[in-house]
A and B are shown apart, each in its own frame.
Chain A
Amino acid sequence: MTLKDSLIANNSIALQAEASDWQAAVKLGTDLLEKAGVVDSRYYGAILEGTAKFGPYYLLAPGLAMPHGRPEEGVLKNGFALVTLKEPVVFGDEDNDPIDILITLAAVDQESHNVGGITQVVNLFEDEDNFDRLRAATTVDEVIALIDKAEADAQAA
């Protein structure tokens, strides 16, 4: 499943949300996925445990995190959630903090949909201006339009 289809099907976008710390920020995404039946309640705790063990290994770039656990840690089906924060939070990684864009990932296995889904994540941030466009977005339609545009650009490249 692609990023776009997953966000629409699961109604899993929250824009300019509020979180007091990084744990609360991660929970915004996992709560959306739990509500959509993509993960069960173990998933949030598993991400916190993984972070304690490996550090925030899912920070992709300055401002951007892709929190995720392992398939056996409560993933029921493949899916994504997208959360932007009104005020950024700190994960304790000087290279990429502070973070205000979180794309939560759930995958039932290593390859399956994520090749398609993660390709869309990568394409979305190919244009660095899309970081700020996402931060400014206040409607789901704006986010979907950004993903569509990024896909069209990737096709044309």
Chain B
Amino acid sequence: MVRVLAVCGNGQGSSMVLKMKMGGFLKKNNIDHELNSCAFGEYKSMMGSADIIVASTHLADDITVPAGKHVVGVKNLLSEADFGPKLMDVIQQNFASDVR
């Protein structure tokens, strides 16, 4: 199961939107996944239970993750055409066993 964490400035607006949009997308693509969201200030403490962190591009640039974990930057949070291919690339390259 790939664990995806949506991050935004304060953890309750944009990250919730992103979480909803990604949930629909991952389900449609048959990815075995778990989704969470949090504020920028909380991502480090949430890192232990996440494989991929997704955030808007300007926040993504400031997010650092240890080896084996991944960051995806998104411009248009409402557009599958934006986040979808980026997210699928990371999943197919690193979490291929979660694609059912």
Contacts and interface: CB of A to CB of B under 8 A. Distances in A.
Contacts, number: 73
A50 B13 contact: no
Interface residues of B, number: 21
- Interface range on chain A: under 10, 10 to 19, 20 to 34, or 35 or more? 20 to 34
Nearest to B75: A95
Contact of A61 (B11, B12, B58, B78): B78
Contacts of A96: 75-76
B17 A57 contact: no
Interface stretch (A7-15, A21-29, A62-70): A62-70
A122 interface: yes
Interface of A: 50, 53-55, 57-62, 64, 66, 68-71, 93, 95-96, 105, 107, 109-110, 114-115, 118-119, 121-122, 125
Given A60-B76, A122-B17, 12 more contacts: A54-B10, A54-B40, A57-B14, A60-B14, A61-B78, A62-B76, A107-B12, A109-B12, A110-B11, A121-B17, A122-B78, A125-B78
